[in-house]
Chains A and B, each alone.
Chain A
């Protein structure tokens, strides 16, 4: 239970993927214009991140390591993710058209989302994961759990950001600050808020 809780707190708040680890900044800035879009993107990313961990962790641990092919991890992972996203898209289209309608447009963008490849690379580094989460051993359950809650942390950040940006859109802002600069400075304040979690 203790490990379970520490994974949740570490993944969602202390090491939030977006504002602390800087993974998935592109969708964080690009798809955060409206809250509903941001939420859709967050759900899609969470979904893909969980399944990515479920597939890449065993591939690395039970296939690449015994065969001494660790150096192929980048190529294998990126293709697993690309194929996975394509497959999820097809399955959703066939079996759940409503969910496909809600998530479909975000799915193609996810292949090149560094949060997904980032989580795949992060969970296989057991030494770093153990120090990050303060746990004694690493296994597949924790990898998948971390993937899910890291995705949840991403969703939290992108939804909060979209809310802030909807407010900012109504303000008169100098044209040189409009767009990226003001979004970055908004994110700066969010990062300050998240910094508090690392102090407890």
Chain B
């Protein structure tokens, strides 16, 4: 089977963007987008865990019995999260501090389990690694752009560089997080709808609430 890397890349970053289209992993997205830098830190951590867990799930997909696959996936993910946590604690303590509670919570981040279940357990190692990489990039981009816009509006700076004294407190608070995320999903959905109408991208689906996806867990 020939792997279609272009489609995987397109899916991860645009058509099935985990943050803006699938709306998975909402907790860190809402909590950490106060600063653009957090987006890069969290994005890098999640991307690393995604690639590693996808590779291992894909390698072990014929060994793990179907009945215990979810605990097995969780064990693989928890191992890599522990590695990321120890490495960040030792070498990048500032990022470790700013991610705080949301670093161990990568274990229960739905993006990673969802990709392990729906992609890596059905595809080869190379395709799974590519899927992890591009899903991670999609997540990082979404978080960083949202973080940047909240930082500009809420703190008057970008990546910690001071721009001006004008700031709207609302965007730095939790209400601003929900507002920004909602607006981004709506705008992203609308733009991809327009692109779809002009035949720029092939597949298009409206973002929906995850009832159906969650019930099979």
Contacts and interface: CB of A to CB of B under 8 A. Distances in A.
A30 interface: yes
A176 B186 contact: yes
B104 interface: yes
Contacts, number: 135
Contact of A26 (B79, B82, B110, B183): B110
B27 to A, nearest CB: 5
Interface string B114-146: 000000000000000000000000000000000
A140 interface: no
Contacts of B206: 175-176, 178-179
Interface string A162-195: 0000000000000111111111110111011011
Most buried by A among B79, B86, B177: B177
Interface of A is mostly: helix
Contacts of A25: 26-27, 30
Contact of B27 (A24, A177, A189): A24
Contacts of A178: 206
B85 interface: yes
Contacts of A78: 74, 78, 107-108
Contacts of B186: 176-177, 181
B182 interface: yes
Interface of A: 19-26, 29-31, 33, 71-75, 78-79, 82, 108-109, 111-114, 117-118, 121-122, 175-185, 187-189, 191-192, 194-195
Contact of B108 (A71, A114, A183): A114
Given A79-B71, A179-B208, 8 more contacts: A20-B174, A74-B104, A82-B71, A117-B108, A176-B193, A180-B182, A187-B178, A188-B175
B65 interface: no
B27 A23 contact: yes
Majority secondary structure, B binding face = helix
A175 to B, nearest CB: 7
A176 B74 contact: no
Nearest to B83: A71
B21 to A, nearest CB: 10
B173 A73 contact: no
Interface stretch (B56-64, B160-168, B209-217): B209-217
Interface in B11-41: 23, 26-28, 30-31
A112 B182 contact: no
7 contacts: A21-B31, A22-B28, A30-B210, A74-B82, A74-B85, A117-B105, A191-B173
